């Protein structure tokens, strides 16, 4: 059992009388989430884990000007005395800071550098808190909270300094990919609503083609919508990556398929037939495929570890066989792996990626789907250092990475959640927000300004990585029923948002793509090829 003592700013003295446990889970010594019973009682977070060994606690916290983020403690052994929560959160962040500074070769930065000065301040706050944690835990908690905020800000500064260095190096050497920036689009969007500004500001479309949309009834396909997009792509010269072919997310699976959810062989045969039909029909107009998406999360069907890997192999093999010149991507959803703490039939994301490589499955790259700013599992907000560190973990696999990112332009509550009383608006942002729900945010509650600044930072970090060959925004226009409301580049009123301008500006500043029309390459060229 692990226990964490909690203080908060509301209670003037003594341990916290209440503490919201939001998006909370535990991480085992292998860095994968583990099952645990986590409760709050009498000023303590009590964690009863089902595995022995050291473990870390991860949870959502409001952290000053950093925002409302998921943070975690370092790996800790069990003991009778409680740990001080904020002190352990700060300890882990300092460890990450020094580890990444060494990995990136940035330990020799000048002492006058703002990031180095912030790191020095952070280290001093941590040592002071460490020295008084037993005698004055409430004061130590305040110091640790200040330390944690400073450490996160220093980590983001470090990630951006590193990104600037590598991105400039990539530009100078001419290693920027030819088609680096894309945008997702759904079959529900109308072809004639695509604005010319969008075509001149991106390099490819990431066309979402869930099975449910193509075959709403068993054995009956409605190709009309996808046919229109395929013809449009062919005539416009805009390369399209289509998919996923196989995905078991509730919104992707046809209702009629659930009849066979306990009959793996039948489902496998149906996946095979579906993949065969889609790939052969559109191989002349689609540049590549996302063959599977989120199979490792295993959210709808009770399939085994081996069955999930067999489906991954089968669909990628079909894509390679029927469309040899097409790009084949495998999409990693919920890449921080929180789902594994509650679904042991699933596969942790890095383990899944490693199994794909070790099994010799023939695919061309990973698509990592990063959704932030929602209240649903897997949509929690992370800071820039965590995003940079996540991407670095895929460098060793030797496969190109396409990053698919999404964040909202407003704080929108999920329909199933009660609406709390709105808090006063931040004067610099001009929009009221809600503080009592589970939606996280980066720096300030989500607005068009925050959304645009977040994308600009993530683009810089992602495109600085030599193995990242493309970044795609999740969806180009707001629409009713979208997975993450207000996350489009364009509003429902068809007006461009700040995030659209940031995307276009970043693309223009990449020296070898500035001013180039998207029609200068043939429509079947892959967006992730140099």
Structure tokens at 498: 């700040």
Has residue 5 got a pLDDT over 60? Answer: yes
| 413 vs 304, residue with greater confidence | 304
The residue with greater pLDDT, 115 or 38, is 38
Measured CA to CA, the distance from residue 425 to residue 431 in angstroms comes to 5
pLDDT of the residue at 414: 44
Whose tokens are 């500001």? That residue is: 201
Q: Give the start-to-end residue ranges of the domains of the chain.
A: 2-167, 177-509
Q: Is 342 exposed, middle or buried (0-12, 13-18, 19+ CB in 10 A)?
A: exposed
Give the start-end residues of each E strand in 200-256: 204-208, 240-243
Distance CA 373, CA 361 (A): 33
Q: What is the pLDDT of residue 437?
A: 53
Confidence of residue 368 (pLDDT cuts 50, 70, 90): very high
Q: Can you give the pLDDT at residue 421?
A: 33
Residue 439: the pLDDT is 84
Tens of pLDDT, residue by residue over 272-307, are 999 999 999 999 999 999 999 999 998 788 899 899
What gap in Å lies between CA 335 and CA 387, rounded to an integer? Answer: 10
Q: What gap in Å lies between CA 329 and CA 324, rounded to an integer?
A: 13
At 23 the three-state DSSP class reads coil
pLDDT digits (tens, 9 = 90+) for 31-40: 999 999 999 9
Radius of gyration over alpha carbons of the chain, in Å? 23
Intra-chain end-to-end CA distance of the chain, in Å: 51
Helix (H) or strand (E) run with residue 472 in it: strand 468-473
Q: How far apart are CA 207 and CA 244, in angstroms?
A: 9
**Could you tell me which residues are beta bridge partners of residue 332?**
368
Q: What is the pTM of this model?
A: 0.90
Q: Which tokens belong to 442?
A: 């980066």
Residue 490 to residue 427: CA distance in whole angstroms: 24
DSSP code, position 220? B
Q: Which of 99-103, 187-191, 413-417, 494-498 has the lowest mean pLDDT?
A: 413-417
Q: Is the pLDDT of residue 438 over 90?
A: no
pLDDT band (50, 70, 90) for residue 200: confident
Max mean pLDDT among 10-14, 249-253, 450-454 falls in 450-454
User: What confidence tier does 240 reach under pLDDT thresholds 50, 70, 90?
Assistant: very high
CB-based contact 41:20 (threshold 8 Å): no
Distance CA 322, CA 345 (A): 31
Contact 411, 433 (CB under 8 A): yes
Query: Cis (ω within 30 of 0) for the bond into 244?
Result: yes
- pLDDT of 505 reads 93
Token pair belonging to 460: 């810089």
Q: Please state which of the ranges 43-57, 293-307, 433-447 shows the lowest mean pLDDT.
A: 433-447
- The confidence band for 387, taking pLDDT boundaries of 50, 70 and 90, is very high
Residue 143 CB coordination number (10 Å): 23
- Percent of the chain past pLDDT 70, that is, above it, reads 90
pLDDT band of 525, cuts 50, 70, 90: very low
Residue 221 pLDDT level (bands cut at 50, 70, 90): very high
- DSSP per residue, 76-130: B---SSPEEHHHHHHHHHHHHHHHHHHHTT-TT--TTSHHHHHHHHHHHHHHHHH
> What is the arithmetic mean of pLDDT over 63-88?
96
CATH topology of domain 177-509: TIM Barrel (3.20.20)
Q: pLDDT tens-digit profile of 160-198?
A: 999 999 999 999 999 999 999 999 999 888 777 777 777
415-to-376, 481, 485 alpha-carbon distances in Å = 11, 11, 11
Rounded alpha-carbon distances, angstroms, from residue 79 to 5, 53, 82, 83, 322: 13, 11, 7, 9, 58
Determine the distance from the C-alpha atom of residue 278 to the mean position of all C-alpha atoms in its chain, rounded to a whole number.
27
Which residue in this structure is represented by tokens 């959304």?
Answer: 451
Per the CB < 8 A criterion, the answer to whether 215 and 251 are in contact is: no
pLDDT value, residue 428: 30
pLDDT number for residue 233: 85
User: What average pLDDT does this structure show over 351-378?
Assistant: 94
Q: What is the mean pLDDT of residues 195-220?
A: 89
């Amino acid at each position: 059992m692990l226990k964490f003592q909690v203080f908060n700013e509301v209670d003037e003295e003594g341990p916290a009388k209440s503490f919201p446990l939001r998006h909370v889970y535990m991480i085992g010594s292998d860095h994968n989430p583990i099952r645990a019973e986590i409760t709050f009682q009498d000023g303590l977070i009590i964690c009863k884990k089902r595995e022995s060994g050291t473990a870390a606690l991860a949870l959502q916290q409001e952290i000053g000007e950093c925002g409302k983020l998921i943070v975690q403690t370092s790996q800790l052994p069990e003991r009778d005395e409680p740990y001080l929560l904020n002190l352990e959160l700060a300890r882990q962040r300092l460890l990450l800071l020094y580890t990444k500074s060494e990995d990136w070769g940035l330990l020799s930065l000048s002492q006058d550098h703002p990031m180095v000065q912030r790191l020095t301040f952070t280290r001093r706050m941590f040592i002071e808190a460490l020295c008084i944690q037993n005698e004055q835990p409430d004061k130590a908690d305040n110091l640790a909270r200040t330390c944690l905020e400073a450490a996160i800000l220093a980590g983001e500064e470090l990630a951006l300094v590193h990104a600037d260095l590598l991105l400039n190096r990539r530009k100078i050497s001419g290693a920027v990919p030819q088609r680096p920036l894309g945008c997702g689009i759904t079959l529900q969007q109308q072809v004639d609503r695509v604005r010319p500004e969008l075509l001149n500001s991106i390099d490819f479309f990431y066309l979402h083609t869930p099975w449910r949309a193509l075959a709403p009834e068993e054995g009956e396909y409605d190709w009309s919508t996808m046919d229109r997009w395929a013809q449009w792509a062919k005539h416009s010269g805009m390369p399209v990556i289509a998919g996923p072919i196989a995905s078991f997310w509730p919104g992707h699976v046809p209702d009629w398929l659930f009849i066979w959810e306990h009959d793996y062989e039948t489902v496998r045969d149906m996946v095979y037939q579906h993949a065969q039909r889609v790939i052969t029909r559109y191989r002349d107009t689609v540049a590549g495929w996302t063959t599977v998406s989120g199979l490792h999360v295993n959210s709808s069907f009770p399939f085994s570890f081996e069955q999930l890997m067999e489906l991954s192999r089968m669909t990628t093999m079909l894509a390679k066989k029927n469309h040899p010149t097409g790009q084949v991507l495998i999409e990693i959803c919920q890449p921080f792996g929180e789902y594994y703490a509650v679904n042991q039939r699933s596969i942790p994301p890095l383990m899944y990626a490693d199994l794909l490589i070790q099994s010799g499955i023939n695919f061309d790259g990973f698509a990592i789907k990063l959704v932030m700013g929602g209240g649903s599992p897997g949509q929690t907000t992370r800071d820039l250092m965590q995003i940079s560190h996540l991407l670095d973990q895929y460098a060793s696999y030797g496969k190109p990475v396409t990053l698919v990112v999404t964040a909202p332009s407003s704080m929108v509550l999920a329909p199933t959640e009660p609406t709390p009383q709105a808090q006063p608006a931040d004067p610099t942002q001009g929009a009221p927000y809600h503080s009592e729900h589970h939606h996280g945010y980066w720096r300030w509650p989500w607005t068009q300004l925050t959304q645009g600044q977040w994308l600009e930072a993530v683009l810089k970090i992602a495109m600085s990585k030599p193995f990242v060959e493309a970044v795609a925004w999740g969806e180009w226009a707001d629409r009713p029923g979208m997975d993450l409301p207000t996350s489009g580049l364009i509003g429902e009123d068809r007006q461009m948002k700040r995030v659209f301008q940031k995307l276009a500006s970043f693309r223009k500043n990449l020296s070898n793509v500035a001013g180039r029309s998207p029609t200068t390459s043939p429509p079947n060229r892959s967006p992730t090829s140099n």
